[in-house]
Amino acid sequence: MSGRTSLVLITALTALIQRAHAASIYVSPTGAGSGTVDSPYGSIQTAVNAAKAGDVIYLRAGTYSPTTNIKITKSGTVTSPITLRSYNDEKVIINGESLPGTPYGLDESLPNDERGILHIEGGNYWYFYNLELINGPYGVYARDSSHNYYERLSTHDNYESGFQLQGTASNNTVIYLDSYMNRDPRKNGESADGFACKEGSGTGNSIRNSRLWNNVDDGLDLYLFGSPVTIEEVYAWGNGFNRWGFSSFNGDGNGFKLGITDNPPANHIIRNSMAFANAKKGFIDNGNPGSLTFERNTAWNNGDNGFNMRSSKSTLKSNIAALNINAQVSLISGTTSSGNSWDSSTTWSNSSFLSVDYSTLAGARGSDGKIKASNFLVPTSGAAIGATTQAKI
Ligand SMILES: *[C@@H]1O[C@H](CO)[C@@H](O)[C@H](O)[C@H]1NC(C)=O
Ligand SMILES: *[C@@H]1O[C@H](CO)[C@@H](O)[C@H](O)[C@H]1NC(C)=O
């Protein structure tokens, strides 16, 4: 047997042994036991502390109200991830209202280790499914964590961003996220986004089939993240309005904010996504000096330009900008533009779309977790232009 063959065998055996020993760990809001199905733990942290690679932590229905945030600092492995999920799709709410920092006073700082109802730091190969995280100092805050998979999370009414990746982060997948009504009284709305991937780098991160709405700052923000993020079927609306009566309002109000001046070049890819009814711009490079790709997106009815490229050498193909306030687009020279609404002389009005009613888009997801298809913003012409919930593009 060659060295390589034995190495492969040992790796396979290790994975098998880990799987054979994989445990199911149960937690219930009313539990006081030892983590079995009949005698669940009462604390999610206790279950996390007990979990080993390959284990599945099942949360039973109800509302959990931790008084310290849930810290995840251990890792699974590529073949034996650790899973944290609701049991049988029971409704699980983790309410962060009793945590520190909900909220701290104006201009006070929120220490790193208090961020997040789920504070993941150096935690890799975790799978999360079907959890609702509310009223926390961030919903999910994952720093220096990679290879994690987040499916069907709902993060809302948190006192900072609903969902944030930060630091060294690669190969994280976020799918079927709903993140809304997040706000930061501590900063009068300056930084609570629906989804943020900020201040760090690492390839292979993606967000898909997600909705980011009515957040105080931006729908999505990639502030100072120096590697490409893939964004597909993401819908951002209603962001950047002062719904909380902050005295001095700092919300930015862009649907998709894709960097900042001084951002390292980050060639993000944005496809089949929509920005509508945001306070300001639909899609903005915001100073990112990279080469971004925009394909089949739609910006409609926003409070400023649909697409605003002021720094990047981006490629924009088959996008729609319609009924936005101010110029539909503002693109510096050096961008490449083809097949977009603004590349032809067609005039776009609400009747250019089969529907301008987003109630299906905003409504209940299908049992598969996907947003239900509708005619919202589908061009009446049938042209293959702009985003659509009807097809994967
Ligand atoms: C990325 O993470 C997934 C788990 O979400 C894992 O299955 C896959 O092997 C990882 N890919 C790489 C290149 O590490
Ligand atoms: C287009 O439709 C939206 C949603 O009904 C509405 O708010 C907006 O005022 C309409 N715009 C025009 C120019 O009719």
Instruction: Please tell me whether residue 345 adopts helix, strand or coil conformation.
Output: coil
Q: Closest residue (by CA) to atom 9 of ligand 2?
A: 301
Q: What is the number of the ligand closest to the CA of 206?
A: 1
Q: Nearest CA to 208 among 180, 170, 227, 234?
A: 234
Q: Check: CATH 3.30.465.10 for 161-393?
A: no
Tell whether the torsion through CA atoms of 308, 312, 313 and 314 is positive or negative: negative
How many whole angstroms separate alpha carbon 81 and alpha carbon 160?
28
Enclosing H/E stretch for 15: helix 3-20
Q: How many A from CA of 301 to the centre of ligand 2?
A: 7
SS3 category, 329: strand
Q: What is the largest CA-CA distance in the chain?
A: 73
Residue 20 confidence (pLDDT): 56
Rounded to the nearest whole angstrom, what is the distance from the C-alpha of residue 304 to the centroid of ligand 1?
39
Residue 19 pLDDT > 60:
no
The ligand 1 site (C-beta within 6 Å) comprises 78, 147, 149, 171, 173
Q: Ligand 1 test: best mutation among 75, 170, 171, most atoms within 8 Å of CB?
A: 171
pLDDT higher for 17 or 115?
A: 115
For atom 4 of ligand 2, which residue has the closest CA?
A: 356
| Residue 211 Cα to ligand 2 middle (Å) | 21
Indicate the pLDDT class of residue 7, thresholds 50, 70 and 90: low
* Closest ligand 1 atom to 127 CA: 5
Structure confidence by residue, pLDDT tens digits, 327-361: 999 999 999 999 999 999 999 999 999 999 999 99
- The mean-pLDDT minimum among 19-28, 55-64, 258-267 falls in 19-28
What residues line ligand 2, using a CB cutoff of 6 Å?
301, 323, 350, 356
pLDDT tens-digit readout, 134-154: 999 999 999 999 999 999 999
Q: In which element (H, E) is residue 127 found?
A: strand 126-134
**17, containing H or E segment:** helix 3-20
Ligand nearest to the CA of 348: 2
pLDDT value of position 393? 82
Q: Residue 391's pLDDT is what?
A: 85
All structural domains of the chain with their residue ranges: 22-141, 161-393
The pLDDT confidence band at residue 13, using thresholds 50, 70 and 90, is: low
pLDDT of residue 22: 87
- Provide the annotated active-site residues: 257
4 pLDDT higher than 80? no
Query: Given this model, what pLDDT does residue 21 score?
Result: 73
Residues in Cβ contact with 155 at an 8 Å cutoff, skipping those fewer than 6 apart: 132, 133, 134, 139, 140, 162, 163, 177, 178, 179, 182, 194
* Protein fold of 22-141: Pectate Lyase C-like (2.160.20)
Average per-residue pLDDT for the chain:
96
For residue 103, whether the previous peptide bond is cis, meaning omega lies within 30 degrees of 0, is yes
Distance from the first to the final alpha carbon of the chain: 47
Cα of 205 from ligand 1 centre, angstroms: 10
Exposed, middle or buried by CB within 10 Å (0-12, 13-18, 19+), for 276? buried
pTM of the model: 0.94
Residue type, 207: I
Please report the atom of ligand 1 found closest to the CA of residue 148: 5
pLDDT at 59 over 90: yes
Residue 16 has pLDDT above 70, yes or no: no
Q: What is the pLDDT of residue 381?
A: 96
Q: Are 137 and 164 in contact (CB under 8 A)?
A: no
90, HSE (Cβ side, Cα atoms, 13 Å): 17
pLDDT tens profile 214-223: 999 999 999 9
CA within 13 Å, CB half, 224: 8
pLDDT at 17: 57
Residue nearest to atom 4 of ligand 1 (CA): 147
CA distances from 13 to 6, 7, 9, 78, 365 (A): 10, 10, 6, 14, 40
Question: Ligand 1 centroid vs 285 CA: distance in angstroms?
Answer: 28
Q: Which ligand is nearest to the CA of 355?
A: 2
Q: Is the pLDDT confidence value at 225 over 90?
A: yes
Q: What is the pLDDT of residue 25?
A: 98
| pLDDT of 14 | 62
Q: Do domains 22-141 and 161-393 have the same CATH topology?
A: yes
The average pLDDT across 68-72 equals 98
